Chains A and B, each alone.
Chain A
Amino acid sequence: MMGVGEMGSLQGDLAIEMVHLRKEFGRKVALEDLSLTVPRGEIFGFLGPNGAGKTTSIKVLMGLVRATSGEARLLGLPPQDPRAKERIGFLPELFRFHEWLTAEQFLDFHGQLYGMPPEKRRRRIPEVLELVGLRSEGKNQLHTFSKGMQQRIGLAQAILNDPDVVLLDEPTSALDPLGRRDVRDLMRYLKDEGRTVFLNSHLLSEIELVCDRVAIIDHGRVIATGGLHELLAASMEIEVEAEGVTPAAMEELRARSQSVEEENGRLVVRLREREAIPPIAEILLKHGCKLYSLCQRRSSLEDLFIRVVEQEESR
């Protein structure tokens, strides 16, 4: 029987923890001070501009890179702990697998690396090939695979051991739109099965479609994190089409909002919350402006991303 402490650590609520991670490569600081927690059972999006430290963080989590200071934990255990490694699946970003193997031999080797017994491998390999859409390719050698198929077999390898946490570093970079949809479906399936998916992707639209929560990092630190919907709702823009806006009206608008800008003859008013929208109409009417339309712009993850990264850069 497992000790209470052990049960607690393996079944904690957090899939991933990074606490004040710092990594220096010589003089270059790749991670400044990165702290992040990922609860279990979610699809978590990890974004940031190139060179922000995304891949380095993932490598620290996977025990490929040693942090200069700070701590990383997977399922409450240090990344080098074999009990953690057994419960993790990982698709590296730049990978080339042993191309002389067939898809089945490749998965069999990785199944052995996970320590899966033979009968479990025999049962599981056709299952994962099916899940990634390579059912009929099992007997083919990997060097005959297209880039998209290589990415699929990489995914198969990452979910082979039925892991609790799956880390995917750019899993759809080589896939066409259909392949991307398959991967989205796969991530949702994993989530429905109670797994945690940690997704690093440049494709913001992908993240927006599947992620429950996101973290945006830049210069090796987290600059925004939270539920996707809250983050998107945290700052909203409304577009106002009005005539006869007096300087006094403008002044009052500015006072009641985060910013007001003119764009193609329309006013774009940025607000913190939904409740701030009706007062905008009141101000305009009070000052005798003719109000033709007032509509809320749907903020996309891309807007949010650009905004927080630019804010960070200008700091």
Chain B
Amino acid sequence: MKLLLMARFTFREALHKRVVHGVLGLTVAFLLLYGLLVWLAFRQIGSAGPAAMISLQFTLLGMNAVSGIGALLAVFLSVGTISSEVEAGTLHAIVPKPLTRRDVLWGKWLGFATMLSIYVFLLSLAVSGTVAFFTGEWSVQIVPAALLLVLQSLILLSLSILGTTFLPTVANGVAVFGLYSVALMSGFMEQLGSMIRNDAMVTVGIAVSLLVPSDAMGKLSASLLQDGRSYLERVGPFMVNSQPSAWMVVYSLIYVAVLLMLALRIFSRRDL
């Protein structure tokens, strides 16, 4: 099937991209720094007292970083995959071959999605594993929490794929990061609104998160990790007060599917 051929090719091509080499370098640096921080913290407190709280906070911090790096990778991988290849003429040799534009577009998405999923999932395990190395305990919910971060990065990937079918590369980058930031802001607004019991803020936050559900997946992931922990353990910069509904996962999956249909519609009609 030509869609899988494009997906495999896209995956192989991504391995040759500088942005991937850069992100891998960044990942190594991040893991070293993260390991150092966790080590310093646990060296001081040992396994006494607030160890459970510290390990939760470190896991949340690490997962927050995974979410950020995942978003970065999702956008930089795909930001110009159609627009720049139209400009360079690379697509002019591929599209006339016996395959459909759906094979080209969705194949690219699938290639990037595979890479992102592997990366985000493994990095999440690395974060949890680092904490487990010092405490001897893995976060119970790390696998579903990691999968939610994978979904978050796929949401951003799909937005970026949609954008690149009609926007020039730089404009698309600005647009997707803009939407990502709006989602972050709205998530913050929802949490703050819930803390000070301001319903209007919560409503606006939820409304925006329907527009771009990426941050909702991040919050859902963090709230899974905090599940069943006491208030004292949870309190901190990553505490989730207003937990997004589990239906948001279903919504996000439909959201990704709709973005991909829309992107295909635009790409199919576009003159290359």
Within 8 A of B (CB), among A176-222: none
Within 8 A of A (CB), among B60-99: 88-90, 92-99
Q: CB of B43 within 8 A of chain A?
A: no
Task: Give complex CA distance A110, B97 in Å.
Answer: 8
Q: CB of B229 within 8 A of chain A?
A: no
Task: Give complex CA distance A91, B269 in Å.
Answer: 22
Residues of B within 8 A of A112 (CB): 5
Q: Name which residue of chain A comes closest to B13, CB basis.
A: A98
Contact B97 A66 (CB under 8 A): no
Contact B269 A113 (CB under 8 A): no
Task: Give complex CA distance A165, B98 in Å.
Answer: 14
Q: CB of A62 within 8 A of chain B?
A: yes
Q: CB of A46 within 8 A of chain B?
A: no
Which of A65, A88, A92, A94 is close to B271, meaning CB atoms less than 8 Å apart? A65
Number of chain B residues whose Cβ lies closer than 8 Å to a Cβ of chain A: 19
Contact B89 A100 (CB under 8 A): no
Contact B93 A157 (CB under 8 A): yes
Residues of B within 8 A of A154 (CB): 93
Contact A92 B98 (CB under 8 A): no
Which of B9, B90, B99 is close to A97, meaning CB atoms less than 8 Å apart? B90
Q: Name which residue of chain B comes closest to A83, CB basis.
A: B98
| Binary per-residue interface labels of chain A (58-80) against chain B in the complex, 1 for a CB within 8 Å, 0 otherwise | 01001111100000000000000
Task: Give complex CA distance A114, B96 in Å.
Answer: 10
Which of B16, B88, B97, B272 is close to A114, meaning CB atoms less than 8 Å apart? B97
Residues of A within 8 A of B93 (CB): 90-92, 95, 97, 110, 154, 157
Q: Most B CB atoms within 10 A — which of A25, A64, A110?
A: A64
Q: CB of B2 within 8 A of chain A?
A: yes
Contact A85 B272 (CB under 8 A): no
Q: Most A CB atoms within 10 A — which of B5, B16, B94, B97?
A: B97
In the assembled complex, the CB of B237 is this many whole angstroms from the nearest CB of chain A, namely 42
Task: Give complex CA distance A110, B269 in Å.
Answer: 24
Task: Give complex CA distance A163, B194 in Å.
Answer: 66
Which of A63, A97, A115 is close to B96, meaning CB atoms less than 8 Å apart? A63
Contact A113 B89 (CB under 8 A): no
In the assembled complex, the CB of A54 is this many whole angstroms from the nearest CB of chain B, namely 15
Q: CB of A86 within 8 A of chain B?
A: yes
Q: Name which residue of chain A comes closest to B90, CB basis.
A: A96
Which of A59, A96, A113 is close to B94, meaning CB atoms less than 8 Å apart? A113
Contact A90 B90 (CB under 8 A): no
In the assembled complex, the CB of A259 is this many whole angstroms from the nearest CB of chain B, namely 43
In the assembled complex, the CB of B56 is this many whole angstroms from the nearest CB of chain A, namely 43
Task: Give complex CA distance A113, B96 in Å.
Answer: 10
| Binary per-residue interface labels of chain A (146-157) against chain B in the complex, 1 for a CB within 8 Å, 0 otherwise | 000000001001
Residues of A within 8 A of B97 (CB): 85, 110, 113-114
Task: Give complex CA distance A157, B9 in Å.
Answer: 17
Residues of B within 8 A of A65 (CB): 271-272
Contact B92 A92 (CB under 8 A): yes
Residues of A within 8 A of B88 (CB): 94-96
In the assembled complex, the CB of A93 is this many whole angstroms from the nearest CB of chain B, namely 8
Which residues of A are at the interface with B, using a C-beta cutoff of 8 A? 25, 59, 62-66, 82, 85-86, 88, 90-98, 100, 109-110, 112-115, 154, 157
Could you list 28 A-B pairs, sorted by A, with CB under 8 Å?
A25-B271, A59-B92, A59-B271, A62-B92, A62-B95, A62-B96, A63-B96, A64-B92, A64-B95, A64-B272, A65-B272, A66-B269, A85-B96, A85-B99, A86-B98, A90-B96, A91-B93, A92-B89, A96-B90, A97-B90, A98-B13, A100-B13, A110-B93, A113-B2, A113-B94, A113-B97, A154-B93, A157-B93
> Other CB < 8 Å A-B pairs besides A62-B95, A113-B2, A115-B2, 11 of them?
A62-B92, A64-B92, A64-B271, A64-B272, A85-B96, A85-B98, A92-B89, A92-B93, A97-B93, A113-B97, A114-B97
